[in-house]
Amino acid sequence: MPTSAKKIVVLDRDGVINVDSDAYIKSPDEWVALPGALEAIARLTQAGYRVAVATNQSGIGRGLFDMNALNAMHLKMHKMVAAAGGRIDAVFFCPHTAEDQCECRKPKPGMLKMITERFENDPEETPCVGDSLRDLQAAAALGFIPHLVLSGKGQKTLAAGGLPEGTIVHADLRAFALDFLSEEHE
């Protein structure tokens, strides 16, 4: 890894860190961490990794919640991760709907490009963890290492097939952190 590259892990939010809902997560009360997810982020932080979140939040574009609600959800997430001994270094989000055809909404790689610019990470050395095909497609488009977790929409994503080449599958974020960190020390 080049000396300028930073050790970073990129995570999707809904279905990876917290419970997902087809009705959208619209408030801090609805934002509920998945079992083991906060501890997984803490493990990554304590192992020297920076953690960035890249999340589609089309509920804003659909008028289901506003920026104040999103900020409150993310404040709750940051506080809960910190209480578990971890840290999220940045949250990147796309407020647009698919109809907007923006470059930041996954499966397009705009958010991941922003993360790479901000953190100067080498995509080929950077795991990107998601539960949907669009998360994995965005990762693969820039050469990130795609990791599918089977939480959230992950089971359906795996069953549907068509995963990008090289996708690594884990039960959940906790399993990803354990697998990834043990692999690093081999």
Residue list for the binding site for Mg(2+): 12, 14, 131
Residue 183 confidence (pLDDT): 84
pLDDT at 54 over 80: yes
* Angle subtended at Cα 8 by Cα 24 and Cα 160, rounded to the nearest 5 degrees: 45
12 labelled catalytic = yes
pLDDT at 3 over 70: no
Residues 107-136, mean pLDDT to the nearest whole number: 97
Whose CA is closest to 92, among 69, 115, 121? 115
Q: What is the mean pLDDT of the chain?
A: 95
Give the Cα separation of 107 and 104 in Å (integer): 8
Residue list for the binding site: 12, 14, 94, 96, 102, 104, 131
Q: What H or E segment, with its residue span, contains residue 147?
A: strand 145-149
Residues 159-166, mean pLDDT to the nearest whole number: 97
Give the Cα separation of 173 and 88 in Å (integer): 14
Residue list for the binding site for Zn(2+): 94, 96, 102, 104
Note the pTM of the prediction, 2 decimals: 0.95
pLDDT at 2 over 50: no
pLDDT at 98 over 80: yes
Catalogue all structural domains in the chain, each as residue range(s) with its CATH number.
8-184 (3.40.50.1000)
Which of 14, 20, 135, 172 is an active site residue?
14
20 labelled catalytic = no
Q: Look at strands 127-130 and 168-170 and give their pairing.
A: unpaired
Whether the Cβ atoms of residue 10 and residue 50 lie closer than 8 Å to each other: no
Residues 18-43, mean pLDDT to the nearest whole number: 97
